[in-house]
Amino acid sequence: QVQLKESGPGLVQPSETLSLTCTVSGFSLTSYGVNWVRQPPGKGLEWMGTIWNDGSTDYNSALKSRLSISRDTSKSQVFLKMNSLQTEDTAIYLCARGGGYNSGYAFDYWGQGVMVTVSS
């Protein structure tokens, strides 16, 4: 079955770089895209960026200067790197599969998320 699982450090120092991994199973990264979404505590969802099945990327314009998404198809892993972290980047970070055209480009499967706290 389709599964996604995020991993990474729970605590990051201000001004440092966040590195997260989304490990997927049950589908191929060359067939589906993967998105990163974050949710600050008690707040709403924010789309961060996507890596399409062809390896191209799109980013939220508000985060574009700080964000990079890449992948290793042989390991079924998608990576997020975001630099210059501030306390307002404290959030649950989730990866989600892009369902493609037949699913209206909605995100059809989600990981459980990983909590990242930015604090010294």
CA atoms within 13 A on the CB side of 15: 1
Q: Which of 58, 63, 77, 90 binds other proteins (CB under 8 A)?
A: 58
Task: Kindly tell me which of 78 and 94 has the beta carbon lying closer to other proteins.
Answer: 94
Q: Which of 1, 31, 41, 104 binds other proteins (CB under 8 A)?
A: 104
Instruction: Find the shortest distance in angstroms from Cβ 113 to other proteins.
Output: 6
The full DSSP string for 76-90 is: TEEEEEE-S--GGG-
Q: Which of 13, 86, 105, 119 binds other proteins (CB under 8 A)?
A: 105
90 vs 76: CA distance, rounded Å = 26
| b/e 63-76 (16+ beta carbons within 10 angstroms → b) | beebbebebeeeeb
Q: Which strands, in side-by-side order, build the sheet including 67-72?
A: 3-7, 18-25, 77-82, 67-72
Q: Which of 27, 47, 52, 79 binds other proteins (CB under 8 A)?
A: 47
Which x/- pattern over 63-92 shows residues binding other proteins (rule: CB under 8 A)?
A: ------------------------------
Binding site for other proteins (CB under 8 A): 35, 37, 44-47, 50, 58, 60-61, 94, 96, 99, 103-108, 110-113
